Amino acid sequence: RQQVIMTTFNRSGRRKLASNTKPEAFVGTVRDMASDGRGVVRAPSGKVFLVSGVWLDETIEIEPTGSKGSIGFGVVKRLIEASDERREPSCGHHGFSSAQCGGCPWQFMSYVAQLKAKQGRIEAHCAKLELEDAALKPILAAPSEWQYRNRAQFKTDGAKLGYVASGSNTLVDVKECPVLTPVNQSSLGSLRRHLPNKEWRPSKSNLWRTLNIDDTESGVSVDARLPFRQGNTDQNHNLRQWIREQISALPRDWAALELFAGSGNFTTVLAEHFTHVTAVEGDESSVGELASLKLSNVTAACYNLFNETAMDLLCKTYKKSQVLVVDPPRDGLKVRAPLLRRLRALEAVIYISCDLATWQRDCLDWHKAGFTLRSVQGIDLFPQTPHVEVMSVLARR
């Protein structure tokens, strides 16, 4: 080991020695993939390291760069045994340094390998759950692994425009982005023609400003997020079709309760089948957009879905609901006790999730409440990234 000896003096004036030991590089094999897409490698000492730009079963030499608690971090010093599925990234900005964009960390691997890894993560989370036979389906691949992103948020300091490098505050100047739809790629080019731009300079208290684009909008939204929309139009169509198929055999006169309804993306599908749907959202502007659809068999309601008291009142009001449809953010059903306690008439739960860990946690509670997973299927909304969405149906035993 390389050892740096530092000479210091204590309060009595006596000299003492302190050492700063630099960890040595080591060789290891990638045994797992973390939820953020990094490879999991165990050092000879037994310490677990997270490393970007590696894949399952690859053997690599790792240069440690730091640690947090019991977890170490490192970079690839040498690739010893590479996966057969490796490929050249399609984007010139791809990489893992502070000067490169880390937005699509998996594009160095074939799409087949990406799907296999995502299916493996779903299977691992299902291992602790009670599933009916043949409940787990193959992941639904995206129709296109490129040019799918229908919206984007860029950051700019008035001189550069792009994305922030992974794990840093460094702004990477992005000239093209192959996952953007052609319309959004054109918008990126148009925005870049306005650089440098004094009006886009951030205040002293901010590092940058945000520019939000959407391929259905003609302009750009500055420092204001656009209303939520699924980021992959083709896969959103498949999500809606999947819900349509799941509810087709359910009685039309069942009362349907939808939580995290947004501005009605799934509500319109539910309204095609059920005679009455209650669509609930915590954001008032989204509830207003939902109400503006003027669906005769839909009641739009605004409740704070992360507040215990509000959720209890909601569940008491709609306790006769027989089917529940939820599509929560990453936190999942953070407040779920009222759902389990109050909704005693429930027969089916359709749960769409963007986070496997919180989905697994919530499903375990639904199991304790007397429900079984009838169907589980992943859907890949964002190729080239570790993100995976899961669609599931639980039914009362």
Give me the count of residues in the chain: 397
101 is an active site residue: no
Strands 2-9 vs 15-22: parallel, antiparallel or unpaired? antiparallel
d(CA 107, CA 114): 9
Instruction: Give the separation between CA 122 and CA 76, rounded to whole angstroms.
Output: 27
* CB-based contact 301:234 (threshold 8 Å): no
Please give the distance of CA 369 from its chain centroid, rounded to a whole number: 27
Rounded to the nearest 5 degrees, what angle is found at the Cα of 158, between the Cα atoms of 149 and 196? 100
- In the chain, DSSP finds a helix count (H) and a strand count (E) of 8, 19
Q: Which residue has the tokens 């006596």?
A: 14
Exactly one of 91, 104, 177, 354 is catalytic; which is it? 354
Using DSSP's 3-state secondary structure scheme, residue 369 falls into coil
Would you give the end-to-end CA distance of the chain in angstroms?
60
SS3 label, residue 80 = strand
- Rounded Cα gap, residues 151 and 213, in angstroms: 5
DSSP secondary structure code for residue 170 in this structure: P
How many CB atoms are located within 10 Å of the residue 317 CB?
A: 14
* Catalytic center residues: 354
